[in-house]
Structures are given as structure tokens and as C-alpha cells.
């Protein structure tokens, strides 16, 4: 660790200790110290937002205070791995490696430890994999070690149901206790014993899949799943463990999952964040009718934007938040996906690749033809409401796949990029004029 990083670590740890003694009393004082010693032109907007939150004690202040209701060891570990290592230390190293290698370097790596899942949800590709595929412990360990060399300290497990591999995932948390791990999970395998493991390691945060209220959720995920999710959230909250939600919004559930009732319920249950994902028609069981209509997607965007001003819940809205990150973040620009067979995909929703992690290093994958095509092509649209080369720009993905010789990585039902994008083309045509209007309105603000 460099002297600069050691100084960051020391200063960060001292600040966290000071804040933990009395967060409400010491947070304003800490901001005064930050303003005194940090150059005036660094993180200007972020510091202004923090000062405003503190003075107004608004929803963001309330959210920050909720972290001080968590188990102290877990809170400190999450802050250290995510804020310090994943951002203050990791980000500058990522930038250095981007310049050095001339390719994308990810902020986070998504991994499928297994294709196995104990549920069979409508429209989900995980069930297609036949419960046959797994990344070994050594595979995942190697990926993480390579990632850290590039400055990546954040790893997100997808699937399948990652908690089928509980034992291996907890061991990886121990071995890589400098990393933050997040897991998209249906939560049905979260029990008392697992909560004790989460308390012990401190650096593993579940993001629980929830599709709305009981009827809507169970219609897609199976009878009784909603009550199991409620039970898992109660258990996590009772142990002072951080967790969030993963919400796939569709033409059927969009109204429920962006309602004030839904937000208030999950906040009361203890959720700290929610990732909202636009439904993607990927895989043989895809249901294009589930894609939100233009007016529905617009309403989702407007409601989430409004609740950010009032609710103590950190929300991320895919696809509508592209303006904050400069467009598509796939292809290693901010993240990539490695499936349970080892195929390195540019995106968790776009299953095409020309490299496998068993044959190449992580850096070699980032320099492969498809990933370099992403690197050179991003952003795929100057309109940040049309970021995706599949969903809103369906002419782009087939071209990228053809030019780079990539192939479908779906092990049971491979499909061409042309067939996939044929399902999104009508959607893109309908969405485009709405997106153009929203973008013009955004630029005027």
C-alpha cells in the first residue's frame, strides 16, 4: 500500500471512530474538518449535499443515521471495504490502470457462483441453465485476486441463487476481508445460522429480490415466497444487518413497486437501498409483454426521482439513471459479468462473449474484441435515456457481436443477437420520442 493510501486509511479510520462516538453530535464537526483541510474545488457538490442534509436533517441524514443502528462490526467493515477500499483507494488505481492499458477497468465485477436456483421465476434465464454449472472456489478466488490488482474491491454475486454456495461465499469473505460483497438473492435460504455468519464476516450484504406486494410477487416467484422474503428481512433487521432490495419492474408490477406504500413498507422493514431493474427480454422464456410501456417507464422515473427527495432509501434506477454515470456502464466500463461457465459477458443482461475466464486473465478479457468494442463505442447514445446497445439501440448489439466474432453464452438455448434485438426493436421505437422529450427537459434544468 502506498504512503498516500496509508494516509487515506489512517484518516478514514480516525474519522469513523470519531463519528461512531456520537454520530449526531460529531457529524457536523467532521464536515467542518473536511471543509478545512480538503481543497475547496474537490467534491464540491457532494460536500454541499452533505452539509445540506446535516443542517436540514432530511431524508439523506435519516438514512445515514440508520447505519448507526447496525451492528458496529458490520457497519465499520462495510464502510471500510466499500467506501475506503472500493472508492477512495480503488478508484484512483482503476483510473491509473485504464490509462496504462487503454481499456475499460471495472468498479465492480458480477459473478455467478452457480446456475442452480431453488425457484423458477417467470421470465428468468437462471432456470435455463439446468443446475449444472458452477464457478469453483478457486475460480472465484482467482478472479477477485486479479480484480484487486486492477483496483476493484467490489464483487456482486448473481445467479442462479448464489446462497446455494453459502459456505464458499463466506470463506471468500474471510480470505478477502478487504473487499465488499453484495449478493442478489431470493432470500429463501437466509436463516439464523446464516445471519450469524454475516455478523462474523461483516462484508457481505444481501440485495433481496422483491416484485411488489404478495400477489404480484408470488405470481412470478411462486406461492409463499413473499412471506419468506418478509421473514428474511425481519431476521436481518433484528440482527442489525444491512440489506437492500432488487426490484425488477415490468408492465404488470411497475405501479406497485414505485408506490409510496411499497417504499414505506420496505423502509420500515429495514431496507437501506433498492436497485430497480427494467425488465429485459433475455432467454428462451422471455416475455416481451413484460417490458414497461413508455408511459409506465416515465412514471417509474418520475416517482423514484420524487422519492429521492423525501424517503430514507438509496435508490438506483436502471435504465433511467444513466445520466449520472455517462451512459452504459457494461463492458467493464464500470462492471462486467462472469457466468457460472466462466464466460465473460459485457453485461448481466447481454449473454455474448468471445473469452472465458478459464482461458484468459481478467485483464485479457477486458482487452478482448467485444470488450474493446464497448470501450470504443460508449456512450452508445448521447441521450442518457437511451443508454443500452440492446434495449434502446437494438441495431448496435448485433453489429458488435458480428464484428468481434462473439457468440451466445446461453448454454441451453443460444440465440443470435439479431433474434434478441428483434424483441426489443418495437420497444425502442416506441420509447425513442418519449426519451428525446425527457432528455431535452433534463438539459433545460
The DSSP string of 45-103 is HHHHHHHHHHHHT-HHHHHHHHGGGS-HHHHHHHIIIIIIIIIIIHHHHHHHHHHHHTS
380 with 328: CB under 8 angstroms? yes
How many helices (DSSP H) and strands (DSSP E) are in the chain? 18, 11
* Closest C-alpha among 172, 188, 200, 184 to residue 71: 200
pLDDT digits (tens, 9 = 90+) for 138-195: 999 999 999 999 999 999 999 889 999 999 999 999 999 999 999 999 999 999 999 9
- Distance CA(325)–CA(372), nearest Å, equals 19
Give the per-residue pLDDT at 221.
65
Residue 407 backbone phi and psi in degrees, to 5: -130, 160
Q: Considering the domain 85-445 in this protein, what is its CATH number?
A: 3.20.20.70
> Domain-by-domain residue ranges, the chain?
3-84, 85-445
pLDDT digits (tens, 9 = 90+) for 25-56: 988 888 887 777 666 776 677 778 888 888 89
Query: In the predicted model, what is the mean pLDDT of residues 313-327?
Result: 95
Query: In the predicted model, what is the mean pLDDT of residues 106-117?
Result: 93
Percentage of residues of the chain with pLDDT beyond 90: 76
* Closest C-alpha among 75, 74, 53 to residue 63: 53
pLDDT grade for 253, boundaries at 50, 70 and 90: very high
- Does the pTM exceed 0.85? yes
User: For strand 344-345 and strand 335-338, is the pairing parallel, antiparallel, or unpaired?
Assistant: antiparallel
* C-alpha dist (Å) from residue 74 to 48, 241, 354, 378: 28, 7, 39, 37
pLDDT digits (tens, 9 = 90+) for 383-410: 999 999 999 999 999 999 999 999 999 8
pLDDT grade for 128, boundaries at 50, 70 and 90: very low
Give the per-residue pLDDT at 11.
86
Backbone CA torsion sign across 427, 430, 435, 436: positive
Residues 6+ apart with CB under 8 A from 421: 390, 394, 395, 397, 398
Residues 6+ apart with CB under 8 A from 445: none
Amino acid at each position: 500500500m502506498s504512503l498516500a493510501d496509508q494516509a487515506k486509511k489512517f484518516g478514514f479510520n480516525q474519522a469513523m471512530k470519531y463519528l461512531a462516538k456520537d454520530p449526531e453530535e460529531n457529524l457536523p464537526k467532521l464536515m467542518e474538518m473536511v471543509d478545512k483541510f480538503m481543497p475547496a474545488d474537490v467534491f464540491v457538490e457532494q460536500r454541499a449535499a452533505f452539509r445540506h442534509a446535516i443542517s436540514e436533517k432530511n431524508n439523506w441524514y435519516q438514512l445515514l443515521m440508520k447505519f448507526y443502528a447496525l451492528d458496529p462490526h458490520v457497519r465499520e467493515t462495510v464502510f471500510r471495504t466499500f467506501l475506503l477500499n472500493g472508492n477512495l483507494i480503488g478508484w484512483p488505481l482503476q483510473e491509473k490502470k485504464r490509462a496504462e492499458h487503454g481499456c475499460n477497468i471495472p468498479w465492480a465485477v458480477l459473478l455467478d457462483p452457480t446456475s442452480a436456483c431453488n425457484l423458477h421465476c417467470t421470465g428468468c434465464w437462471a432456470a435455463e441453465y439446468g443446475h449444472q454449472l458452477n464457478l469453483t472456489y478457486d475460480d472465484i478466488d482467482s478472479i477477485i485476486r486479479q480484480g484487486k490488482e486492477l483496483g476493484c474491491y467490489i464483487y456482486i454475486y448473481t445467479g442462479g441463487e448464489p446462497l446455494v454456495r453459502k459456505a464458499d461465499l463466506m470463506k471468500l469473505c474471510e480470505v478477502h476481508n478487504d473487499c465488499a460483497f453484495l449478493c442478489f438473492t431470493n432470500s429463501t435460504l437466509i436463516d439464523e445460522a446464516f445471519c450469524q455468519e454475516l455478523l462474523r464476516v461483516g462484508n457481505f450484504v444481501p440485495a433481496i429480490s422483491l416484485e411488489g406486494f404478495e400477489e404480484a410477487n408470488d405470481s412470478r416467484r411462486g406461492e409463499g415466497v413473499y412471506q419468506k422474503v418478509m421473514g428474511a428481512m425481519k431476521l436481518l433487521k433484528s440482527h442489525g444487518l444491512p440489506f437492500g432490495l432488487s426490484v425488477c419492474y415490468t408492465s404488470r408490477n411497475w405501479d406497485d413497486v414505485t408506490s409510496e406504500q411499497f417504499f414505506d413498507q420496505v423502509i420500515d422493514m429495514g431496507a437501506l437501498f433498492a436497485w430497480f431493474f427494467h425488465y429485459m427480454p433475455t432467454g428462451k422464456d422471455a416475455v416481451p409483454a413484460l417490458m414497461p410501456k413508455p408511459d409506465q417507464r416515465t412514471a417509474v422515473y418520475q416517482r423514484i426521482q420524487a422519492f429521492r427527495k423525501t424517503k430514507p432509501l438509496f435508490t438506483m434506477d436502471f435504465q433511467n439513471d444513466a445520466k449520472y454515470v455517462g451512459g452504459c456502464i457494461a463492458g467493464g466500463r464500470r462492471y462486467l459479468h462472469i457466468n457460472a461457465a466462466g464466460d465473460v459477458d459485457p453485461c448481466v443482461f447481454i449473454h455474448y462473449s468471445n473469452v472465458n475466464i478459464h482461458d484468459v486473465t481478467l485483464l485479457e478479457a477486458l482487452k478482448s474484441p467485444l470488450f474493446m468494442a464497448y470501450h470504443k463505442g460508449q456512450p452508445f447514445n448521447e441521450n442518457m435515456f437511451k443508454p443500452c446497445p440492446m434495449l434502446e439501440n437494438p441495431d448496435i448489439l448485433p453489429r458488435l457481436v458480428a464484428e468481434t466474432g462473439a457468440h451466445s453464452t446461453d448454454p441451453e438455448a443460444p440465440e443470435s443477437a439479431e433474434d434478441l434485438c428483434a424483441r426489443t426493436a418495437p420497444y425502442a421505437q416506441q420509447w425513442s420520442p418519449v426519451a428525446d422529450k425527457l432528455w431535452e427537459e433534463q438539459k433545460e434544468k
